[in-house]
Structure 1
Amino acid sequence: MTSQALLGALARAVDTSGAAVGRGVLAESGRHLAAHLGTGPYIVVADQNTWAAAGERLTFSLEDAGCTTIPPLIFPGRPTLYASYDNCEVIKAAMGAATPIALGAGTLNDLVKLAAFEMTRDYAVVGTAASMDGYTGAGAPMSEKGVKVTRNCKAPVVVIMDLDVVAAAPGFLTASGYGDLAAKIPGGADWILADVTGIEPIDEDVWAMVQSGVAPALSRPAALAAGDADAFEGLVEGLCLSGLAMQAYGGTRPASGAEHYFSHLWELAHLGVDLDPPLSHGGKVAIGSLAMCAFYEALLARDIAAIDLRAAADARQPWDEIEADIRTTFDGALADHAVRETKAKYASGNELYARLKPLVDQWPAVADRLRAQLVATDELSEQLRLAGASARPEDIGLTPDDVRATFPRAMYYRSRYTALDVAWELGIFDDLVEDVFTRIWI
């Protein structure tokens, strides 16, 4: 089953040519795989949990379609598999001449994706949970040498998501996917600002792929938490469309903004890795999304059109002071990474004035665009709570002060232009963060 929205997105996708989303599609998975990737040999890469959920049925469907397989690679179910490069190496060693099929969710898909790319193979994914939007994405977030970066690699040729399998997944995985899709709300607002300032214009077709389905996909949080398989269609399709949009765009801008940098930094700090199960990416992204929605509320409460832009541009810190601050904020390789990323977006004087002038001149219209995109922080928090997702910093083991301290780190972490940069360049960053924690959110 492939909806019109998915068909349209597949037409623009670079790597993915086939998608099946619906109830009972696992039984037809072998036929879909054979049609796009041939009859094998295949190797299924799973962990003990995902193999129990769908491994035998997937293998039977492959055999029924005339495909050959080699013995599967099944990682232990505990401890939870981690997206580290050494696990990618294990997969590469097991592949032989086979085409890999990732049977699982985020981590398994990312590891197989990167392993297949480095072995110059195509691959497929049979998703077992609506836990993230990376199924159809063309990159693989991977931790190596103390920094989490998205490694460039190809997306799957085929993605199969059986809603009955997905709905039966543990609730924390669904909550993670809900949080990841909610991130498209502040992430989209960040793209609007990058568009207005001329840094990264919006691709309207790609925008529509992601944003047109976000509100419907998030509209039934309680039914998702209850495991209602029919409620999963919008969520799963929204997550798949997000990944396909990244393929069409050639980057992750359509699916993420500053909210993801909160999550990445907490992941690099190993937040919640000692829990069982570990804190999910989407759980941390949910809190980052709330933080950014609150930041946007603070931004929209300001009369940006009244700011003396020339004075703000002239008051911009020189680069050497900023670099010194970055190196006191981060250590080691992460400090070097943050310096490179921040330097890439740094501007001052006339260059900064020219960047921000369209934003200041058009502020009433820009503010209307942002309000149409955003959701009130308290409303999003309630939706997340109903979905069983993280809705307060305490839900992921953080205090409000922990979140507050992450704001400047998130601003430095990536070169992608966001609301954090706009506020920083206008000289109101600290004031807005203060508003978040005294007036708007927590």
Structure 2
Amino acid sequence: MLLDCTAYSGPCACGREHKLVTEKVIVEYGAIKDFDRYMAECGLTGRRTVIYDSNTYKLPGLPHIAATKEIVMQAEGLHSEKGMIEAIFPRLDDPDVLVAVGSGTIMDFARYSAFQLGLPFAAIPTLASADGYTANICSVMIDGQKKSIPMNAPVLVVADLNIISAAPRFLTISGVADILSKYVSLADWRIAHLVSGEYYCPRVAAMAEKALEMMARCAEDMRRGEEPDFEAMTMAHMISGLTMQMLSNSRAASGAEHLIAHLVEMKPPRFEGARGVHGECVGVGTILCAEEYHAM
């Protein structure tokens, strides 16, 4: 499936003009074999630095794409922390384009480096575990607190479903939870618009609802013990990320449930031993917020 993102740019009925950096999103089985062609079509040429973590680098069946330089980050203890990301800058070797191969953390390393150095980047997701792949913002740890900061969105995303479908099931379920959280975030956004006049874009909200509907169907398939539609699951993540890029914030994709998740991820007193990847934490937050909504 090819998603031409240029269709989402331009003036909108909400009164704003949406601008996307992302040009193409390819979600297909075997997509990585045509990665160089897609790069050329997007004008992403020249010196190429490719960033992996050590687990992704050793993934069976993952071809290592052509690179001027490869950087393999030690996976153990790696997380999206501003100082840790900035430490990679001297290792990049003056590239013309960055490529991130992996999941959310490695994407943050590439997108933040690209933002700070004024470089384009391309993304090769290996998991359908979170919805930030096509976003231009991300929450990172700064002085012990989770903060959303601007980053570069990828010009190109190539998601090979042969790789994504082979991921551990708990990570796939984490991604399901991250998208199902839109039940809460969209309600939060709509209420804020009605009560306080906060800016609201029906088009962006409809995109988030589309991603939610796609993932809800996949979740129901998984509940019945059926194999999920990995193409639909992955595309739901891509569409949700585009809503963040269109708004330059996460209002359509992140509400009170994400605040709960971020609290857990910061590991304050009483949460030091908390475990769970991002989507799992978001899933807990979604349940808690949904219970509060139903109690009103």
Partner of 2:195: 197
Partner of 1:244: 242
Cα distance between partner residues in 2 of 1:274 and 1:111: 26
Distance 1:129 1:273, change over 3 A: farther
Q: What is the distance in 1 between the residues matched to 2:78 and 2:61? A: 17
Distance 1:236 1:112 in 2: 20
Structure 1 counterpart SS, 2:140:
strand
Distance 1:162 1:46, change over 3 A: same
Deviations 1:90-142 (A, max 9, x none): 32111122121110111111121111111111111100000101101111211
Higher strand share: 2
Q: Is the 8 A contact 1:180 1:285 kept in 2?
A: yes
Taking every aligned residue pair, what percent have the same amino acid on both sides? 28
Tell me which residue corresponds to 1:402: none
Partner of 1:279: 276
What corresponds to 1:116 in structure 2? 114
Structure 2 residue 93 is matched with structure 1 residue 96 = yes
User: Aligned to 1:84, which of 67, 81, 85?
Assistant: 81
1:138–1:153 contact (8 Å) kept in structure 2: yes
Look up the equivalent residue of 1:297 and give its one-letter code.
Answer: H
* 1:53 CA displacement: 2.8
Q: How many residues align?
A: 286
Which of the pair has more CA radius of gyration? 1
Quick one: higher RCO (CA 8 Å, sep 6+), 1 or 2?
Answer: 2
Listed as ranges, the matches of 1:395-406 within 5 Å are none
Choose between structure 1 and 2: higher helix proportion. Answer: 1
TM-score, normalized by length of structure 2? 0.88
Q: CA deviation at 1:288?
A: 0.3
Q: Which residue of 1 aligns with 2:140?
A: 142
- Could you tell me how far apart the structure 2 residues matched to 1:220 and 1:81 are? 30
* CA distance 1:56–1:176, change in 2 (3 Å): closer
Contact 1:9 1:245 in 2 (8 A): no
Check the 8 A contact 1:10/1:17 in 2, yes or no. no
Structure 1 position 272, deviation (Å): 8.0
- Which secondary structure does the structure 1 equivalent of 2:283 belong to? helix
CA distance in 1, matches of 2:273, 2:79: 12
CA contact under 8 A between 2:28 and 2:231: conserved in structure 1? yes
Q: C-alpha separation between the residues in 2 aligned to 1:115 and 1:122?
A: 10
The one-letter amino acid of 1:130's match is A
- CA drift at 1:233: 1.4
Deviation of 1:294 after TM superposition, in Å, equals 0.6
Structure 1: which 5+ residue stretches go unaligned? Answer: 63-68, 300-442
Does the 8 Å CA contact 1:167/1:227 hold for their aligned counterparts?
no
Letter in 2 for 1:265: L
* RMSD of aligned alpha carbons: 2.4
The answer to whether residue 28 in structure 2 is matched with residue 30 in structure 1 is no
Residue in structure 2 matched with residue 263 of structure 1 by the alignment: 261
* Structure 2 gaps, min length 5: 11-17
Q: Is 2:290 aligned against 1:298?
A: no
Matched, 1:39 2:45: yes
Inter-partner Cα distance in structure 1 for 2:183 and 2:161? 24
User: Residues of 1 paired with 2:236 and 2:111: CA distance?
Assistant: 20
